């Protein structure tokens, strides 16, 4: 008998969390072996490892407590990887040497598998004078481009590229460029962007007052606060970025506001962190703790929850001692404060089991009550740990109890902290759980609503073919098992496609009251929501006490990503269950080749190479506009023959599919030859492939396909790439290539293979 309730759960375990050697030989024969490996590793720092190993194993058993993916994949493997998910890096100095020192630290952190966050507000604005060199500053966005290129070249642990968050204060002189940076589809693709919004700015927005853009005390210009707010909203409405972080609220509510200032978050925003801060994440699976589901007696077992939370806190505290860290400063920061981020997953499923409609006042109150119970249990467990093992080194009793969320904490918990101290400075956070929720049987993610009751997933077979299987939400499957496959789902079964945006805000605000860090949550907005109604969502998030806000509105720019068929909530049957479909495409078939094409041939003379390389690029006219169609690469050097033929065929195949093919240039230019590059035409080129990418880029600029070197498309590729009557699609999954990405908790997650940008 397997512990997995669905095939996708077992596949996720096998792909991401099962311990295997480089050649694919599995150390973990079963998921029980994985639980045992993690339990034994985290119990090793205890005085009685054997006893705690059993306690930890029981918490992991049947997916009740879900450590974050890095812990599941890395604990007990002795691999040189960090068990922490994400880091906020050090403050970026406003100097060239300091900036590139920070770049090196970022690369070392990503190499071990950590996502990173940076505040770029500390870099002087574009055009500011640079003393001593007689030049003007290029501004923070130019250095963000350097970070972006670095991130593309480093593969994180777990075979996924690193994720990055960039923040900028709302009063930085370059904030308007930051807000609109993602309008260029080729720029900053490895970053999530968020604006640090202050309390005075929100006051000015509401009062329609003026707002100074300032750097180091100098006012560069003054704008209307409401105009700047509308620019943020318009960019988010059109491009789903930037997000909004209410930074003053975060610092005011921080338990450690007496010894740290926060200016950035991890890539998904649920962990606001100080310089070199790290986030250590895990989730209680609420869907597994409901007794007598779908009955009048249905209830969450609070006694079991309290015990499970205490065990989870101890396990996470042990990770601080068991983990490796990319940088010494990160290790010191983690051990001085021992912050953890315990959250939940399966909330929406648990509410369904109690017959509650997600987004209603009743569901919000139940959510608040459950999270209060988790916060209470977490803080009490950490106080007892402090009695046994000592408080975190920077603990100051009077300052701690007077700060942040502690002012609202239960009196008996405050008394325990006053007597014993507390082991972990911060304890709660709600992180993205897209992948681990699939691993746990497709429970609803985090505090998100059920995305869809069921969908069809394409599964890659060993022979290269794909089969389809139905993936059903955990609570829906339980309801079917109890009442029959044909039983109608009750009206309280709602999903992300049918909920009004303000219902999402209500749930996020209810959860935030007892979360001492922050929450990763996506507020799904309908495509036809008006701009004024869209702005109301963000203002509601501010008014209701949220620490940030992230929305997703499918449109012609972001793409539909994943469409779900409409359904009637009142009379759902199995054959009416919503499906994820991939029917939104750019071009399904390659463009036909005309008899003749216009093109140009370029010559590359690579140093130390006996023969030159010739690159011919032919173009086609589509809709009155010239675009690349095919590439031929030739050389007399037979050493290059095989790879130049392969490259010719691959690039030409991409070009013939249409759409935005400028990424080909980006990928080629990012290739670094470990033997070293060469100086060509006064510029350092890191490899022959990068040189070819540069030639293609120059051709695309000269023919007007892209706006300039390092820039994106000159015009929207959808103008000539979409067939009449088709909707634009979202991006393909970088892991499996399927168009099955959905926005969950601020993070694109593939419903076919389980890949998640954020973990």
Q: Which residues are catalytic?
A: 266, 268, 270
Confirm if 421 and 390 have CB atoms less than 8 A apart: yes
Structure-token pair, residue 549? 């806000």
Distance separating alpha carbons of residues 618 and 631, to the nearest angstrom = 6
Structure-token pair, residue 532? 């004024």
Confirm if 627 and 619 have CB atoms less than 8 A apart: yes
What SS3 string covers 58-80? HHHHHHCEEECHHHHHHCCCCCC
Confirm if 216 and 93 have CB atoms less than 8 A apart: no
The contacts of residue 17 (CB under 8 Å, 6+ apart) are: 34, 69, 72, 73, 439
Alpha helices (H) along 300-360: 302-322, 328-337, 347-353
Confirm if 449 and 473 have CB atoms less than 8 A apart: no
Distance separating alpha carbons of residues 92 and 105, to the nearest angstrom = 11
Distance separating alpha carbons of residues 574 and 477, to the nearest angstrom = 11
The two beta strands, 747-750 and 741-744, are: antiparallel
The burial class, CB within 10 Å (0-12 / 13-18 / 19+), for 279 is buried
Confirm if 444 and 744 have CB atoms less than 8 A apart: no
Polymer length of the chain: 759
The contacts of residue 682 (CB under 8 Å, 6+ apart) are: none
**Would the CA dihedral through 261, 263, 264, 270 be positive or negative?**
positive
b/e sequence 11-38, b meaning 16+ C-beta within 10 Å: bbbebbbbbeeeeeeeebeebeebbbbb
DSSP 575-640: GGS--EE----S-SSPPPPPS--EEEEEEE--TT-SS-EEEEEEEEEETTEEEEEEEEEEES-GGG
Q: How many CB atoms lie within 10 A of CB 373?
A: 16
């Amino acid at each position: 008998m397997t512990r997995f309730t669905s095939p996708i759960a077992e596949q996720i375990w096998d792909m991401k969390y099962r311990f295997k050697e480089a050649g694919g030989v599995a150390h973990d024969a079963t998921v029980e072996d994985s639980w045992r490996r993690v339990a034994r590793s985290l119990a090793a720092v205890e005085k009685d490892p054997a006893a705690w190993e059993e306690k930890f194993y029981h918490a992991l058993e049947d997916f009740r407590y879900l450590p974050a993916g890095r812990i599941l994949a890395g604990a007990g493997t002795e691999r040189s990887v960090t068990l922490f998910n994400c880091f906020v890096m050090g403050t970026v100095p406003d100097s060239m040497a300091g900036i590139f020192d920070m770049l090196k630290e970022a690369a070392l952190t990503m190499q071990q598998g950590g996502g990173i966050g940076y505040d770029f507000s500390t870099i002087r604005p574009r055009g500011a004078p640079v003393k001593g060199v007689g030049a003007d500053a290029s501004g923070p966005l130019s250095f963000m481009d350097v970070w972006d290129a670095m991130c593309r070249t480093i593969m994180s642990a777990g075979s996924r590229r690193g994720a990055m968050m960039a923040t900028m204060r709302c009063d930085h002189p370059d904030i308007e460029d930051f807000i609109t940076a993602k309008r260029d589809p080729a720029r900053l693709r490895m970053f999530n962007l968020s604006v640090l919004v202050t309390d005075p700015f929100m006051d000015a927005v509401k009062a329609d007052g003026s707002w100074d853009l300032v750097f180091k005390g100098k006012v560069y210009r003054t704008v209307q606060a409401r105009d700047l707010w509308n620019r943020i909203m318009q960019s988010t409405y059109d491009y789903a970025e930037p997000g909004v972080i209410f930074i003053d609220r975060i610092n005011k509510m921080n338990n450690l506001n007496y010894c740290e200032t926060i200016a950035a978050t991890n890539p998904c925003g649920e962990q606001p962190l100080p310089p070199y801060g790290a986030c250590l994440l895990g989730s209680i699976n609420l869907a597994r703790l409901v007794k007598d589901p779908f009955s009048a007696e249905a209830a969450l077992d609070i006694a079991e929850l309290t015990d499970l939370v205490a065990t989870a806190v101890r396990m996470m505290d042990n990770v601080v001692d068991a983990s490796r860290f990319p940088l010494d400063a990160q290790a010191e920061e983690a051990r001085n404060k021992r912050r953890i981020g315990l959250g939940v997953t399966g909330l929406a499923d648990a509410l369904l089991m109690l017959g509650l409609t997600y987004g209603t006042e009743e569901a919000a109150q139940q959510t608040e009550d459950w999270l209060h119970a988790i916060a209470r249990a977490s803080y009490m467990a950490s106080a007892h740990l402090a009695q046994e093992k000592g408080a975190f080194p920077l603990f100051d009793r009077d300052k701690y109890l007077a700060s942040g969320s502690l002012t609202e904490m239960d009196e008996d918990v405050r008394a325990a902290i006053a007597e014993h101290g507390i082991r972990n400075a911060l304890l709660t956070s709600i992180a993205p759980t897209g992948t681990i929720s699939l691993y746990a049987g497709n429970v609803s993610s985090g505090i998100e609503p059920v995305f869809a009751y069921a969908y069809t997933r394409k599964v890659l077979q060993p022979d290269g073919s794909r089969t389809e299987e139905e993936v059903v939400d955990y609570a829906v499957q339980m309801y079917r098992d109890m009442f029959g496959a044909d039983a109608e789902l009750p009206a309280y079964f709602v999903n992300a496609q049918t909920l009004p945006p303000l219902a999402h805000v209500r749930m996020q605000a209810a959860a935030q009251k007892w979360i001492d860090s922050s929450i990763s949550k996506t507020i799904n907005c309908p495509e036809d929501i008006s701009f004024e109604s869209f702005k109301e969502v963000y203002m509601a998030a501010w008014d209701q006490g949220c620490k940030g806000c992230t929305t997703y509105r499918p449109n012609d720019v972001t793409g539909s990503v994943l469409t779900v068929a409409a359904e009637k909530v009142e009379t759902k049957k199995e054959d009416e269950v919503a499906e994820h479909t991939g029917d939104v495409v750019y071009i399904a078939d390659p463009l036909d080749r005309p008899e003749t094409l216009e093109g140009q041939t370029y010559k590359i003379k690579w140093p130390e190479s006996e023969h030159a390389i010739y690159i011919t690029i032919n173009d086609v006219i589509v809709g009155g506009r010239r675009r690349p169609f095919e590439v031929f690469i030739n050389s007399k050097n037979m050493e290059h023959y095989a790879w130049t033929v392969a490259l010719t065929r691959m690039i030409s195949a991409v070009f013939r599919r249409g759409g935005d093919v400028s990424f080909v240039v980006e990928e080629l230019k990012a290739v670094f030859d470990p033997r070293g590059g060469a100086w060509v035409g006064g510029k350092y080129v890191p490899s022959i492939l990068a040189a070819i990418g540069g030639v293609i880029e120059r051709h695309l600029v000269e023919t007007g396909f892209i706006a300039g070197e390092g820039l994106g498309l000159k015009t929207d590729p959808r103008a000539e790439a979409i067939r009449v009557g088709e909707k634009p699609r979202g991006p393909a999954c970088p892991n499996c290539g399927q168009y099955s990405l959905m926005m969950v908790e601020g993070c694109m997650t593939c419903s076919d293979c389980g890949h998640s940008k954020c973990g």
